[in-house]
Amino acid sequence: MSNVSSFNCYYTNAHSFLKKLPELNKIILENDITLAGITETWASSDMRYSEFDTEGFNMYRADKSSSKRGGGVLIYIHKILVSIPYPQLGSMGCGDSVWELVNTGSDKRIVVGNICRSPNSSEENTSQVLELLALANQQEKITHLLVKGGFNMPEMEYNDYSVAGLDFSIPVRFFNLLQDLFLIQHVFEAIQFRSDQIPPKLTYEFTN
Protein backbone atom coordinates (compact mmCIF):
# COMPACT_ATOMS: atom_id res chain seq x y z
CA MET A 1 0.00 0.00 0.00
CA SER A 2 1.28 3.48 -0.90
CA ASN A 3 1.33 6.27 1.65
CA VAL A 4 -1.71 8.52 1.26
CA SER A 5 -1.33 12.01 2.69
CA SER A 6 -4.75 13.33 1.61
CA PHE A 7 -7.89 12.11 -0.11
CA ASN A 8 -11.27 13.37 -1.32
CA CYS A 9 -14.48 12.55 0.54
CA TYR A 10 -18.10 12.59 -0.58
CA TYR A 11 -21.40 12.40 1.29
CA THR A 12 -25.03 12.22 0.21
CA ASN A 13 -28.44 11.48 1.67
CA ALA A 14 -29.73 9.06 -0.96
CA HIS A 15 -33.40 8.49 -0.08
CA SER A 16 -33.19 4.97 -1.55
CA PHE A 17 -29.75 4.32 -2.89
CA LEU A 18 -29.74 1.21 -5.06
CA LYS A 19 -31.07 2.85 -8.23
CA LYS A 20 -28.69 5.79 -7.71
CA LEU A 21 -25.52 3.68 -7.61
CA PRO A 22 -24.61 4.45 -11.26
CA GLU A 23 -24.77 8.16 -10.41
CA LEU A 24 -22.41 7.61 -7.47
CA ASN A 25 -19.95 5.73 -9.68
CA LYS A 26 -19.91 8.69 -12.06
CA ILE A 27 -19.29 11.14 -9.20
CA ILE A 28 -16.47 8.95 -7.86
CA LEU A 29 -14.72 8.84 -11.23
CA GLU A 30 -15.15 12.53 -12.04
CA ASN A 31 -14.02 13.77 -8.62
CA ASP A 32 -11.38 11.19 -7.67
CA ILE A 33 -13.30 10.19 -4.54
CA THR A 34 -11.54 7.91 -2.06
CA LEU A 35 -14.18 7.75 0.68
CA ALA A 36 -17.94 8.07 0.24
CA GLY A 37 -20.59 8.07 2.96
CA ILE A 38 -24.25 7.40 2.13
CA THR A 39 -27.21 7.80 4.49
CA GLU A 40 -30.86 6.86 3.98
CA THR A 41 -29.89 3.91 1.80
CA TRP A 42 -33.18 2.17 2.64
CA ALA A 43 -31.23 -1.09 2.32
CA SER A 44 -32.53 -4.14 4.16
CA SER A 45 -30.91 -7.41 5.17
CA ASP A 46 -32.45 -9.29 2.25
CA MET A 47 -30.46 -7.18 -0.25
CA ARG A 48 -27.21 -8.83 -1.32
CA TYR A 49 -23.92 -7.05 -0.78
CA SER A 50 -23.11 -7.62 -4.45
CA GLU A 51 -26.01 -5.34 -5.39
CA PHE A 52 -24.10 -2.39 -3.92
CA ASP A 53 -20.60 -3.25 -5.16
CA THR A 54 -18.47 -0.45 -6.56
CA GLU A 55 -15.28 -1.45 -8.37
CA GLY A 56 -12.10 -0.73 -6.46
CA PHE A 57 -13.87 -0.06 -3.15
CA ASN A 58 -14.55 -1.90 0.06
CA MET A 59 -18.09 -1.38 1.31
CA TYR A 60 -19.36 -1.34 4.89
CA ARG A 61 -23.07 -1.07 5.64
CA ALA A 62 -25.60 -0.98 8.45
CA ASP A 63 -29.08 -1.67 7.15
CA LYS A 64 -32.29 0.00 8.28
CA SER A 65 -33.52 -1.40 11.57
CA SER A 66 -37.25 -1.56 10.83
CA SER A 67 -39.67 -2.49 8.06
CA LYS A 68 -40.63 1.16 7.62
CA ARG A 69 -39.22 3.24 4.80
CA GLY A 70 -36.06 5.14 5.68
CA GLY A 71 -32.77 4.49 7.44
CA GLY A 72 -29.64 2.59 6.54
CA VAL A 73 -26.08 3.84 6.11
CA LEU A 74 -22.97 2.69 4.27
CA ILE A 75 -19.42 3.75 3.55
CA TYR A 76 -17.27 3.07 0.50
CA ILE A 77 -13.50 3.19 1.07
CA HIS A 78 -11.08 2.85 -1.84
CA LYS A 79 -8.78 -0.15 -1.67
CA ILE A 80 -5.75 2.12 -1.85
CA LEU A 81 -6.45 2.51 1.87
CA VAL A 82 -6.40 -0.41 4.28
CA SER A 83 -9.76 -0.45 6.05
CA ILE A 84 -11.49 -2.82 8.44
CA PRO A 85 -14.70 -2.69 10.50
CA TYR A 86 -14.35 -1.00 13.88
CA PRO A 87 -16.54 -3.03 16.26
CA GLN A 88 -15.63 -0.96 19.32
CA LEU A 89 -18.12 1.61 18.05
CA GLY A 90 -20.26 -0.46 15.72
CA SER A 91 -21.65 -2.50 18.61
CA MET A 92 -22.87 0.53 20.58
CA GLY A 93 -26.52 -0.03 19.65
CA CYS A 94 -26.99 3.12 17.58
CA GLY A 95 -28.58 1.39 14.59
CA ASP A 96 -28.03 3.88 11.79
CA SER A 97 -24.27 4.20 12.05
CA VAL A 98 -21.29 2.40 10.56
CA TRP A 99 -17.65 2.66 11.68
CA GLU A 100 -14.30 1.69 10.14
CA LEU A 101 -10.63 1.92 10.97
CA VAL A 102 -8.53 3.28 8.11
CA ASN A 103 -4.75 3.08 7.79
CA THR A 104 -3.29 5.50 5.25
CA GLY A 105 0.16 3.92 5.29
CA SER A 106 1.72 7.03 6.81
CA ASP A 107 1.39 6.14 10.49
CA LYS A 108 -2.12 7.59 10.53
CA ARG A 109 -4.95 5.54 11.99
CA ILE A 110 -8.29 7.15 11.23
CA VAL A 111 -11.64 6.16 12.69
CA VAL A 112 -14.33 6.94 10.12
CA GLY A 113 -18.01 7.04 11.05
CA ASN A 114 -21.20 7.66 9.10
CA ILE A 115 -24.34 8.45 11.13
CA CYS A 116 -27.95 9.08 10.24
CA ARG A 117 -30.10 10.62 12.98
CA SER A 118 -33.76 10.78 12.00
CA PRO A 119 -35.62 14.06 12.58
CA ASN A 120 -38.12 11.88 14.47
CA SER A 121 -35.42 10.28 16.57
CA SER A 122 -36.35 9.54 20.17
CA GLU A 123 -34.50 11.19 23.03
CA GLU A 124 -33.02 7.78 23.89
CA ASN A 125 -31.63 7.34 20.39
CA THR A 126 -30.24 10.88 20.34
CA SER A 127 -28.55 10.23 23.69
CA GLN A 128 -26.96 7.13 22.14
CA VAL A 129 -25.63 9.28 19.28
CA LEU A 130 -24.13 11.71 21.79
CA GLU A 131 -22.51 8.85 23.73
CA LEU A 132 -21.21 7.39 20.49
CA LEU A 133 -19.54 10.65 19.44
CA ALA A 134 -17.93 11.03 22.86
CA LEU A 135 -16.65 7.45 22.80
CA ALA A 136 -15.33 7.83 19.25
CA ASN A 137 -13.29 10.83 20.33
CA GLN A 138 -11.76 8.86 23.23
CA GLN A 139 -10.38 5.93 21.24
CA GLU A 140 -6.75 5.08 22.04
CA LYS A 141 -4.01 4.75 19.42
CA ILE A 142 -6.13 6.69 16.94
CA THR A 143 -4.57 9.73 15.27
CA HIS A 144 -7.63 11.14 13.52
CA LEU A 145 -11.43 11.03 13.69
CA LEU A 146 -13.76 11.69 10.76
CA VAL A 147 -17.52 11.62 11.34
CA LYS A 148 -20.05 12.59 8.72
CA GLY A 149 -23.75 12.19 8.21
CA GLY A 150 -27.23 13.58 8.50
CA PHE A 151 -27.79 14.82 12.04
CA ASN A 152 -31.02 16.77 11.39
CA MET A 153 -30.24 19.64 13.75
CA PRO A 154 -31.46 22.78 11.94
CA GLU A 155 -31.22 24.68 15.24
CA MET A 156 -27.42 24.61 15.00
CA GLU A 157 -25.80 27.41 12.98
CA TYR A 158 -22.08 27.00 12.46
CA ASN A 159 -21.66 30.17 10.43
CA ASP A 160 -21.91 32.14 13.68
CA TYR A 161 -21.50 29.24 16.15
CA SER A 162 -24.97 29.59 17.63
CA VAL A 163 -27.74 27.20 18.58
CA ALA A 164 -31.43 27.82 19.26
CA GLY A 165 -33.13 26.08 22.16
CA LEU A 166 -33.40 25.76 25.90
CA ASP A 167 -30.32 24.85 27.94
CA PHE A 168 -31.19 21.15 28.19
CA SER A 169 -32.78 20.75 24.76
CA ILE A 170 -31.34 18.16 22.39
CA PRO A 171 -29.83 20.71 19.95
CA VAL A 172 -28.08 22.60 22.77
CA ARG A 173 -26.79 19.38 24.35
CA PHE A 174 -25.55 18.23 20.96
CA PHE A 175 -23.86 21.55 20.15
CA ASN A 176 -22.20 21.81 23.58
CA LEU A 177 -20.86 18.27 23.39
CA LEU A 178 -19.21 18.95 20.05
CA GLN A 179 -17.52 22.03 21.54
CA ASP A 180 -16.41 20.04 24.60
CA LEU A 181 -14.87 17.40 22.31
CA PHE A 182 -13.07 20.08 20.26
CA LEU A 183 -14.51 18.65 17.05
CA ILE A 184 -14.17 20.85 13.97
CA GLN A 185 -17.20 21.18 11.68
CA HIS A 186 -16.56 21.54 7.93
CA VAL A 187 -19.96 21.99 6.25
CA PHE A 188 -21.32 25.54 6.13
CA GLU A 189 -23.83 25.35 3.30
CA ALA A 190 -27.00 23.29 2.96
CA ILE A 191 -26.53 20.36 0.58
CA GLN A 192 -30.02 18.82 0.58
CA PHE A 193 -33.27 20.69 0.07
CA ARG A 194 -36.18 21.14 -2.31
CA SER A 195 -36.54 24.16 -4.57
CA ASP A 196 -39.47 25.53 -2.53
CA GLN A 197 -37.62 25.33 0.80
CA ILE A 198 -35.41 27.67 2.75
CA PRO A 199 -32.42 25.32 2.85
CA PRO A 200 -31.79 23.98 6.35
CA LYS A 201 -28.36 22.74 7.38
CA LEU A 202 -28.91 19.12 8.37
CA THR A 203 -25.63 17.55 7.29
CA TYR A 204 -22.31 17.91 9.09
CA GLU A 205 -18.78 16.60 8.88
CA PHE A 206 -16.58 16.62 11.96
CA THR A 207 -12.87 16.01 12.49
CA ASN A 208 -10.70 16.22 15.58
Q: What is the pLDDT of residues 94-103, one digit of tens each?
A: 668 999 999 9
What is residue 145's predicted lDDT score, i.e. its pLDDT?
A: 95
This prediction's pTM: 0.89
* Domains of the chain, start order: 8-207 (3.60.10.10)
HEC-encoded secondary structure of 43-80: CCCCCCHHHHCCCCEEEEEECCCCCCCCCCEEEEEECC
What's the confidence (pLDDT) of residue 6? 85
* pLDDT cut 90: percent of the chain above it: 52
The tens digit of pLDDT for each residue in 133-188 reads 999 999 988 999 999 998 888 899 888 889 999 988 989 999 999 999 999 998 88
